[in-house]
Amino acid sequence: MTKLAKTEAPGAPEFAYRKGELCADNVPLARIADEVGTPFYVYSGTQIERRYREFADAFSDARATICYSVKANPNLGVIATLGKLGAGADVVSEGEFRRALAAGIPASRVIFSGIGKTASELEFAVAHDVHQINVESVPELEALSAVATRLGRTARIAIRVNPDVDARTHAKITTGKKENKFGIDIAHAASAYRRAAAMPGIAPVGIAVHIGSQLTSLRPFETAFRRVAELYRSLRAQGIPLERLDLGGGVGIRYKDETPPAIADYAASAKRIFGNSGASLSFEPGRYLVGNAGVLVAKIVYVKKGVTHRFIILDAAMNDLIRPALYDAWHEIMPLNEKARRGWKEADVVGPVCETGDTFATRRKLPPVEAGELVALMSAGAYGASMGSGYNTRLPAPEVLVRGSQFAVIRARPSYDAVLAQDHIPPWLTAN
């Protein structure tokens, strides 16, 4: 419970109390709430830029590119913030690919990942001459070869290998064990490369690996990297002209009391393992860049005393932020008005959706708060809005980007009319 008494926000220094009010950069969150209503997401552009620069600086002495993993937060305003600094994009669908392009990241800086790319998605990528397609199966190689041949192009590919390494993170976000659906088993990769090299329209240029998300230790990365380095050397020795290594994302952040590796240490170990390989490196961080840079602001609708628990009921719900329901994830909860360190009490913090799983925190010790007050669910910049849904016909929360003293709505809350207009009553029910 030690962290609960701390007044320093996760996401500091961009998220901090200034004159008793929780701010993003220099903007009090309450001011944004007045303008857009609750619930809403707000991101610190300053922090996103700072994190990107930290990552880029750690690799400034290596041939490395950073392809922001768009799935973490696909808002065009967020992608454009990173694109402007020189980031590429890691995308997993045509939709994300289109977002990267719309935000100003050219296809020459896009890596297309994912285990189930359809022929039409592959065609979109090849027609745009995408930098690299990470292929995850032999059937996908065959489909891509057919698409590329039809278009008269050559697709540059990496095979995503599955190195069978336990990332020691939540089971639902572990991807590099052999029982996981991802990649081609590293022991069978060489034969897949030989088949790829013989296929028309396919140019094998690299190896890709990604073993999971929210890793808090360097060790699994190092084990996976060493296996990839060995494969790289042996494929080159067999005459397959590889020149790129895509080392994925996965670097964790602090939500509560985790101690994720410093980015400089992560970079040092990648450089130690691959330094003399001659390969260019790419990375696909998502959470590291945007996770601590966003919060979800909600209003307390009611405080209700149950028989055994006290409930704080918010106007945000699992449709806005599903991570606690899906992964039992911890998000720090901070009132927008700074409180004294007295009178903290336990409560379950819940949303209004009709499921017991719609719970943000159980028996969480919080300062005294009342209905009508605003709170922030911290570290919600990655996989927050991005995994939002319209469950219970709740309107998607708007998103706001702050930079210094300015802020802009980067996604507005839709109207109920716009949401209802997406559905159609079939003619046989409307005819009289």
Within 8 A by CB and 6+ apart from 231, the residues are 161, 186, 189, 190, 207
Q: 429: buried, middle or exposed (CB in 10 Å: 19+, 13-18, 0-12)?
A: exposed
Give CA–CA dist 58/94, Å, rounded.
Answer: 31
Is the separation of the CB atoms in 218 and 265 below 8 Å?
yes
* Residue 72 one-letter amino acid: A
Extract the tokens encoding 336. Answer: 């927008």
- 176 or 367: CB nearest ligand LLP: 176
Query: One of 307, 354, 420, 431 is an active-site residue; which one?
Result: 354
Helix (H, G, I), strand (E, B) or coil at 206: strand
Give CA–CA dist 93/71, Å, rounded.
Answer: 9
- 211 or 336: CB nearest ligand LLP: 211
Residue 88 Cβ vs ligand LLP, minimum distance, rounded to whole Å: 12
**In Å, how far are 225, 300, 338 from 367, measured between CA atoms?**
45, 13, 9
DSSP 395: P
Residue 387 Cβ vs ligand LLP, minimum distance, rounded to whole Å: 6
DSSP 192: H
Question: How far is C-alpha 120 from the geometric centre of its chain's CA atoms?
Answer: 25
Write out the residues near ligand LLP by the rule CB under 6 A: 69, 72, 90, 113, 173, 210, 213-214, 248-251, 284-288, 323, 327, 382-383
Residue 429 Cβ vs ligand LLP, minimum distance, rounded to whole Å: 38
- 121 or 284: CB nearest ligand LLP: 284
Residue 304 Cβ vs ligand LLP, minimum distance, rounded to whole Å: 28
- Nearest CA to 65 out of 291, 383, 279 is that of 279
Extract the tokens encoding 37. Answer: 């209503």
* Residue 71 one-letter amino acid: K
Extract the tokens encoding 151. Answer: 């278009």
- For tokens 């292929």, name the residue: 135
Give CA–CA dist 165/211, Å, rounded.
Answer: 7
- 153 or 168: CB nearest ligand LLP: 168
Please compute, for residue 242, the number of CA atoms within 13 A of its CA located in the half-sphere on the CB side.
28
Residue 34 Cβ vs ligand LLP, minimum distance, rounded to whole Å: 30
Is the separation of the CB atoms in 215 and 265 below 8 Å?
no
- Nearest CA to 83 out of 108, 117, 62, 118 is that of 108
Residue 206 Cβ vs ligand LLP, minimum distance, rounded to whole Å: 14
- 38 or 379: CB nearest ligand LLP: 379
- 166 or 338: CB nearest ligand LLP: 166
Could you confirm whether 354 is annotated as catalytic? Answer: yes
Helix (H, G, I), strand (E, B) or coil at 275: coil
- 25 or 136: CB nearest ligand LLP: 136
- 28 or 250: CB nearest ligand LLP: 250
Is the separation of the CB atoms in 166 and 177 below 8 Å?
yes
Is the separation of the CB atoms in 15 and 32 below 8 Å?
no
Residue 37 Cβ vs ligand LLP, minimum distance, rounded to whole Å: 25
Residue 67 Cβ vs ligand LLP, minimum distance, rounded to whole Å: 8
- Nearest CA to 65 out of 1, 36, 10, 108 is that of 108
Per DSSP, the residues of 8-22 read SPTTTTTEEEETTEE
Active site residues: 354
